[in-house]
């Protein structure tokens, strides 16, 4: 029985490109069973009233699964030798690397001038003199040679955030050169590796306990307080794993689609 308020309209942009499916039983939902104004849909197969946003999310998941059946896009790989399934994506990006390198060199070039002064002051107050080979500006008689201990300490504290930001920029450069995310599934052990080249960390999960695989929005505020948004892959199993923010959208979607196909049938 159809609830009578589901007097459904036919103008449905949802059904335009991809067929709407019931998230529960995967049956097609006809466009006249979708009510945009009420934000609901009705599945005639399992007689369920559904939230429209669940139907849309389910249609997107379907698109992800389908796309992952094609050849992996550039920068992605997938293999299954019968014992182990490997699904991975690289964060490599030439444009990103060049951009990050330029910013890193510029920022650290400026910061390094002050770091050299701070090191010179530190040498002065620890070993008592500044070696001649040390590339400090105005070693003899200059401002460095008369820097007080308090000034040296202040300079280090003042410089710390600038040094950390510079290291972060360098890290972003390394990610663009060799960053990768790889999921391995073997027997009932799943591992998510995130790192740069061979360096990184592994997180384990249990493939048989996977309840959900999805692409989710990750929102945060940057150092200026501006809202930022990025998508990430989420695996909900014995624990919740989130990864893939450093990947391009195409690679992240491939990773998510492959994992949906492999982990959640
Ligand atoms: Zn259904």
Pick 183 or 1 by higher pLDDT.
183
What mean pLDDT, rounded, does the chain reach? 86
Edge-to-edge strand list for the sheet holding 240-243: 212-221, 227-236, 240-243
Counting residues of the chain whose pLDDT is more than 90, the rounded percentage is: 53
How many Å lie between the centroid of ligand 1 and the Cα of residue 164? Answer: 52
Q: Tell me how far the alpha carbon of residue 49 lies from the centroid of ligand 1, in angstroms.
A: 9
Residue 28 CA to residue 74 CA, distance in Å, equals: 32
Neighbours of ion ligand 1 (CB under 5 A): 22, 24-25, 27, 43, 45-46
Distances in Å between the Cα of 251 and the Cα atoms of 78, 116, 179 are 12, 42, 13
- The predicted-structure confidence for 74-129, as pLDDT tens digits, reads as follows 999 999 999 999 999 999 999 999 999 999 999 999 999 999 989 988 988 888 88
- Which of these, 46, 100, 38, lies nearest to 29 by C-alpha position? 46
At residue 96, the pLDDT reads: 92
Cα torsion angle, 254, 255, 256, 259, sign: positive
Determine the distance separating the centroid of ligand 1 and the alpha carbon of 29, expressed in angstroms: 8
Taken in order 218, 220, 226, 227, is the CA torsion positive or negative?
A: positive
Ligand 1 centroid, distance to 188 Cα (angstroms):
30
**Within a 10 A sphere around the Cβ of 260, how many other Cβ atoms?**
22
Residue 186 Cα to ligand 1 middle (Å): 33
> Is pLDDT above 80 for 5?
no
């Amino acid at each position: 029985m159809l609830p009578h308020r589901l007097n459904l309209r036919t103008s449905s942009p949802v059904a335009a490109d991809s067929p709407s499916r019931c998230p529960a039983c995967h049956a097609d939902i006809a466009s006249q069973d979708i009510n945009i104004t009420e934000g609901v849909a009705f599945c005639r197969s399992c007689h369920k009233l559904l939230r429209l946003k669940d139907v849309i999310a389910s249609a997107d998941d379907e698109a992800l699964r389908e796309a992952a059946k094609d050849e992996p896009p550039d920068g992605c790989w997938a293999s299954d030798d019968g014992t182990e399934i490997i699904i991975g994506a690289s964060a490599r990006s030439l444009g990103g690397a060049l951009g990050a390198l330029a910013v890193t060199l510029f920022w650290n070039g400026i910061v390094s001038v002050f770091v050299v002064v701070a090191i010179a002051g530190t040498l002065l107050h620890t070993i008592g003199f500044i070696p001649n080979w040390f590339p400090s500006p105005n070693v003899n008689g200059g401002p460095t040679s008369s820097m007080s201990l308090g000034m040296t300490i202040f300079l280090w504290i003042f410089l710390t955030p600038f040094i950390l930001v510079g290291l972060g920029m360098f890290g972003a450069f390394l990610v663009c050169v060799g960053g990768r995310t790889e999921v391995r599934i073997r027997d009932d052990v799943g591992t998510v590796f995130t790192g740069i080249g061979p360096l990184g960390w592994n997180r384990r999960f249990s493939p048989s306990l996977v309840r959900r695989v999805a692409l989710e929005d990750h929102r945060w505020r940057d150092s200026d307080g501006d809202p930022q948004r990025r998508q990430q892959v989420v695996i909900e199993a014995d624990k919740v794993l989130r990864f893939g923010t450093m990947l391009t959208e195409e690679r992240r979607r491939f990773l998510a689609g492959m994992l949906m196909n492999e982990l959640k049938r």
